[in-house]
Structure 1
């Protein structure tokens, strides 16, 4: 018999209470709450226990009776709204579906309720929004629409499953403040599933810590953070990013530079400017963090520097030489500038074994024989902490953290001078994220490559960066050393970004205190 995914977990939730469930990926957090609402995936069977909601045993309810509870009495907000919203239906039609199923409202009343709720969640033009499709909104707006859809029915219980994982710090804070306000306003009980301990600390009253399907610790949020009793809880708290001492980076001529970089998506009157004349230097051996909200142009700039996008205007220089797709040194530049993408599951070829994926950047090394390439692959896999047996596996046979290690190995196989890491840890849970950025910073120190670290996770940036560049709406708001930006920001936008990220201080009980910066 397979080991249990959730093993003898008990949870009581009172009306209006907010509970957080935390733990690493695979700890059983989501599966526990899916069992509550009867949405277990195929192959998962409940073998014991009972679920009572509002005094009613849900264990023996027929599918039709469960459907009457879902949405109306129990709402669920999924992690990624782009996959939970139907791309083929307008926002208005999707929001109306729940009201039509669970209320006696006529069409006019349903439309009025939808428009009022969209306005309540901060959608600037509700009339246009109901006619639009999900892909026409940003991630933050889609999540607001998802919250509006769920809260329209005023459920007694709200389950929020990693509701802000893919959002930047400011949008994440805005979405959670909105969710908190709606829950308080409606008197809704909430279960917040997350691996973000800072978010749980701010928005819950009580916390359950899960490990391998078991609840290892439970308590009030403030007490558990300050005085954790279980080793696993202490491990989770120790993985929260903390500022490391500043490094001294030798002042050298820039390794790579961009000047007056401009790019717009589309053409003619419909063109949307994304970059507005960016100037940026990256020096040898330094880690430059590029931060900003979603849509600020961070990834676009990183892809231009990597040679994956062609700018409309501007120059890119590498070791003092202008490089572009027509220049003779472009192939050498591409070999010396490698990229680590956000989602290794989509950036690693599913048909190739890890050994072949890591060896791919070496195929143009004419001086390397097959035996040399094999030795280099073994070497870099060892450097990123992957045992030899992983070389013969396919990407789907690795965990998320192992796949990202393989992606880093691929980027380092050519021993590049510049690595661009685009949200390289944002999709990982807390402890795996800590392992990956610790690995990346260790390899950077040992091998001396420069790194452009693109991220919306300011906690990670505070730990890893030498210099920070803040982008907003396609321009650089400010830049400076990490300590200058975090301790003495000059831009109002930077202060707003930092206000969404807590400072961590050790607590007397062996845990942590979280202090939120003022905007």
Structure 2
């Protein structure tokens, strides 16, 4: 009974042809019922190590050295048939994006039943009863109907709950959760993690939580491993390691956490962009669904306005309407004091001076175009520039975003995630716009890259004085970068105000619930962080230590 459930000993993984190691000499043990977190930057090897545990290494990656034992059995010596029997029933895996791991062509019931049929000797009626019970357990309304639905009919949070239900249905001894809440808003993220914690405790399941969200691992894990470039640089009890880190890399990760920025004085000038009584409805007739309900919003020159709210609150839709990518059903929009209309000649000026940075640069950048052409595309309607001036502008903006002309001839796939996001920022700023709309511009980035991009955006905004509508579900990022915060819920503005007032003295119950869902990591004297909560939460409620300063 004292035998560890999982034992990884001196594991080394890498590309067979190149002999380079993506995991190098990592060892760890996991007891039954224990919760372990693994953190590190993208490419640190944390996901690769866990894929080796379950036997799902990508083609070309091999094990150079070391061993993996699960429940006393050497995983390297198991025949394929035994390994397949172990996946799901013994070791469950929750992937980062449920929309790509759920089959869009199959109904939910069909997908959930597959694992039961393979691993449990029960009849169809018992399988259906088990599926309904588990869907109820994870909070899916009307589970009978949900079994007949397709994945696209659910929100991101509901799809992730379905993934959790599918995995926990088989009652695995070990659950591997690989970035399970990256794409979810604060309230849904906490709901999902509380659910995971309750389920693993109820079933006695051990859990490995892979994440770059330090507040998440601080709250939901017992022990923590920190990985850098394939090497485990530090491990220990989560609370002790975070409060007093020993390794410089751990300190570097913690120093990159978002922290509240100082309040700036923004002149009370005429808004650069305004919307009044803005309304948007998808569909028509019986299928009509109102998404925006009478939105009033002003964005002044030189300010950063953060738009926050849960999934489905309408914040991205509002941003796309303001950017001119969606046409509203009612209300009015003005830019530089003039109504936006094709009839009055203001439309072209508005579209040229309102640029957008999308969430995922890999899908928003054409993979067939070089960086120079991607950035220059925003200048194609700038008739006053010669070809030489256009090239010079591209080189200049690439330097501004920290890349330089040497990146101009590369394709997007030749860049890292952070570099691709810099190209997306360069494309938006090449026209030197008056308004930039950043839609979840840093949500897919790891801690250190996120810190670099936030610093870059803040510097460029200060230098060029463009207004910015910053859409995000990451409240820590908002607290660092925003001047003013607007909270949306179900297509309406719940409240808005200066950053310090919204975070420290929220008036709306929904805003309080949103803030209470996110733990705050406060700096310690030892160079680490400690976990605290705003207003209400699992821990003793306390305000941010620096609240009075701002």
TM-score normalised to structure 1 length: 0.99
Aligned residue in 2 for 1:84: 101
* Pairing partner for 1:405 from 418, 422, 425: 422
Give 1:63 deviation, angstroms. 1.1
Q: Structure 1 residue 417 and structure 2 residue 434: aligned?
A: yes
Aligned residue in 1 for 2:528: 511
Q: Structure 1 residue 115 and structure 2 residue 132: aligned?
A: yes
Q: Provide Cα deviations, 1:438-477, integer angstroms capped at 9, x if missing partner.
A: 1101100011000000001100000000000000000000
* Pairing partner for 2:176 from 159, 163, 175: 159
Distance 2:24 2:213 in 1: 23
Q: Structure 1 residue 497 and structure 2 residue 497: aligned?
A: no
Distance 1:414 1:484 in 2: 34
* Pairing partner for 2:270 from 212, 236, 253: 253
Q: CA RMSD in A?
A: 0.8
Instruction: Please state whether the residue corresponding to 1:9 is helix, strand or coil.
Output: strand
* Pairing partner for 1:347 from 356, 364, 372: 364
Give 1:325 deviation, angstroms. 4.2
Structure with higher strand content? 2
Contact in 1 for aligned 2:215/2:520 (Cα 8 Å): no
Aligned residue in 2 for 1:450: 467
Number of residue pairs matched by the alignment: 519
* Pairing partner for 1:313 from 313, 330, 355: 330
Q: Provide Cα deviations, 1:233-280, integer angstroms capped at 9, x if missing partner.
A: 001101111001101111101110000000011111111100000000
Give 1:504 deviation, angstroms. 2.9
Q: Provide Cα deviations, 1:79-103, integer angstroms capped at 9, x if missing partner.
A: 0000000111110111011110001
Aligned residue in 1 for 2:454: 437
Distance 2:129 2:68 in 1: 35
Distance 2:341 2:233 in 1: 55
Q: Structure 1 residue 204 and structure 2 residue 197: aligned?
A: no
Distance 2:450 2:130 in 1: 41
Q: Structure 1 residue 286 and structure 2 residue 303: aligned?
A: yes
Aligned residue in 2 for 1:182: 199
Instruction: Please state whether the residue corresponding to 1:95 is helix, strand or coil.
Output: helix
Distance 1:236 1:133 in 2: 39
Q: Structure 1 residue 57 and structure 2 residue 70: aligned?
A: no
Distance 1:17 1:338 in 2: 47
Aligned residue in 2 for 1:379: 396
Give 1:508 deviation, angstroms. 2.4
Distance 1:204 1:195 in 2: 13
Q: Provide Cα deviations, 1:364-403, integer angstroms capped at 9, x if missing partner.
A: 1111001101111011000000032211001111111000
Instruction: Please state whether the residue corresponding to 2:320 is helix, strand or coil.
Output: helix
Aligned residue in 1 for 2:12: none
Aligned residue in 2 for 1:480: 497
Instruction: Please state whether the residue corresponding to 1:48 is helix, strand or coil.
Output: strand
Unaligned runs of 5+ in 1: none
Distance 2:43 2:69 in 1: 25
Aligned residue in 2 for 1:34: 51
